[in-house]
Every structure is written in C-alpha cells, then in structure tokens.
Amino acid sequence: MICNVNEAFLESCLNAFTPYADEAYGDAHKNIQVISTLYNIIKESGAREGEYRVCFLFNDAPLQSVEATYLKLYAMSLAKVELRSINLNGAFGALPNVAWSDGQPIELDWLRENEIELKLSGEYPHIDFVDKFPRFLQHIIPADNTRILDTAKVRFGAQLHPGTTVMPGASYINFNAGTTGVSMVEGRISSSAIVGDGSDVGGGASILGVLSGTDGNPISVGKNCLLGANSVCGIPLGDGCIIDAGIAILEGTKIGIYPEELQKIQEANPGVTMEGEVFKGKQLAGLNGLHFRQNSQTGEITASRSKREVKLNAELH
C-alpha cells in the first residue's frame, strides 16, 4: 500500500511516537528521526502533492511499484533481511530505466525532449550512468571498516558485511548478492551469489548468478575460499576451497579425482559417499576443502584435498 505523506499524517505519527522522542538520535529510532525531519521540511517549505510517499508491505509478493522495490532494496542493503530471503521478482519491470546525474534520476524522454535547449544553454547535465538501479553508495553509508574504491562497483540492493573490501577494476557486486563476512572482492559477484567470511574473489574472477549457467541454483562460496584471477565459479563451494586462476568450474565440468585424494576429500566431508574417478562439477557442489586445478600439459581439470590456508591480510580489512 502506498500513501501520500502530508503534514497532518506526520503530526499524527509524531504524537504516537511522543514517548520515544527523546531517545531518537544517533542510530536509535531512525523512523522517528525521518518523520521529524520531514515534518520540519514540509512545515517550512511545503511539498507538492505526492512528493513524499510511504509504502507498507503486508506480504512478500512480487514487486509491482518503484516504492515497494526501493523498500525491499533498502532492507537488503541495510542487512535488515538476509540475502536471498525476500521476493525480488518483478524488480526490473517495476523500475524505469533512467539517467543518473549527481545521484538524481532523470527520465530519458525528458532529456530527449529538452536536449537542444539544455545543450545550447550549457545546462545539459553530466550523466554518470544509465540504469534501472542506483548505486549502493547513493543510499547506504557503509561500516567504518568497509572499503568501496569505485562507486560503480556495487549496485543498490547488494549487501556488504563490515570489513568487506571492493577493489576497482573487474570487481562488481549485483543486487541480492554480497558478503556474509570479511572478504576481499576483486571479481564479480552476480545476483543471488553469496561469499563467506575470510574469502577472496580474485581479480577478474566471476561467480555466476542464477541466469548465468547455474541451472537456477544460487551459488554460495564458503568461508576462507580463494577464487583465483579470472576463474569462474559455477557451483556452490564449501569452506576452505580454491579454484586456481583461469579455470572454469561449472555444473557440467568433468573433474578428475585420484583415489588417494578422494579418500582425503571424504574425510573432510563426513557423511559424504563418493565413488569413481571422474565427477561432474554438480556432484562436488558444497563440499569442503577442494582445490580445483588444471594440468598444464594435458588440460585435465582435477580436484584434490586443499593443503593451503586462505588467510586475508588483516591490515586491508
């Protein structure tokens, strides 16, 4: 339900919240702070009809409005809900494609209609990008120990755990994707993909989303994993896994495991029974302690029990 906000509505809200008004500062009672600030703005400067709106969601239905979409994206980026826990179907259809200039959306049709006048008068806006989604940092203040070195690299609706570092270059984190612990991100985390604590997504590495070859299965990368530079991760990984640089591990990738390594892998994954010497990537999904590598002479991709501890540089997080 979407309602216009007016002075009378805000007065009613402030009256209802009177017992908590004195506590509304800092991180406490942000809702009261918003209502109070908005009341003062409208009281002093007025507001156009429909300029401010409030959105109420009573069920987790597919998205049909800009307001409902933004509400859910805020909840996701503020970590009020867990990644992949709410229904974001319909988000692309609900949001219009707009030009963004200094954090403000501009309708493309308006730009076309006023292009000549704006350019000849020297008032044509600097367009930062064109997209349905704004950028994460246009709306979210990250934790003190979170670093995002390029605003274009994180989309609104992503969720970053405190201590996450997002480097420039080939990195990117889509909406409904992100990190659940301290992580280094130098590659791509596609929509619905999740990276665990202590993991490193190497330069140019890519974690596939549900529309990118995972057969609809969302990918989670466990704790203390390493995705080497320009590698592709197309299956869920357990803890302590490594994908060497430049290789792609997909659901259908044929992966050889020698008998002595198979026994070690099973010991690291109690309750898992594995037979054979060649497995599809999908059969190894979610297992702990795997090290995927490629034989430089034969081209064979193999998996062995990982012997390397993945440890992030604490000074960088």
Instruction: Residue 266: count other Cβ atoms within 10 Å of its Cβ.
Output: 15
Mean pLDDT of the region 167-190: 96
**Residue 120 in this model has a pLDDT that exceeds 70:** yes
pLDDT per residue over 142-154, tens digit each?
999 999 999 999 9
Residue 296, C-beta contacts closer than 8 angstroms, at least 6 positions apart: none
pLDDT band at 226 (very low <50, low <70, confident <90, very high): very high
**Residue 312 in this model has a pLDDT that exceeds 80:** no
Residue 74, C-beta contacts closer than 8 angstroms, at least 6 positions apart: 80, 139
Q: What is the mean pLDDT of the chain?
A: 93
pLDDT at 212: 64
pLDDT band at 138 (very low <50, low <70, confident <90, very high): very high
pLDDT per residue over 13-41, tens digit each?
999 999 988 899 888 999 999 999 999 99
Residues known to be catalytic = 186
Name which residue leads in pLDDT, 316 or 50.
50
**Residue 316 in this model has a pLDDT that exceeds 70:** no
Mean pLDDT of the region 234-250: 96
Name which residue leads in pLDDT, 236 or 216.
236
Phi-psi region at 180: left, alpha or beta (left = phi > 0; alpha = psi -120 to 50): alpha
Chain centroid offset of residue 234 CA: 17
End-to-end CA distance of the chain: 41
Cα–Cα distance, 74 to 89 (Å, whole number): 15
Cα–Cα distance, 135 to 104 (Å, whole number): 11
Domains of the chain are: 2-90 (3.30.70.2010), 98-131 (3.30.60), 136-310 (2.160.10.10)
Mean pLDDT of the region 214-237: 92
CB-CB contact of 163 with 143 (8 Å): yes
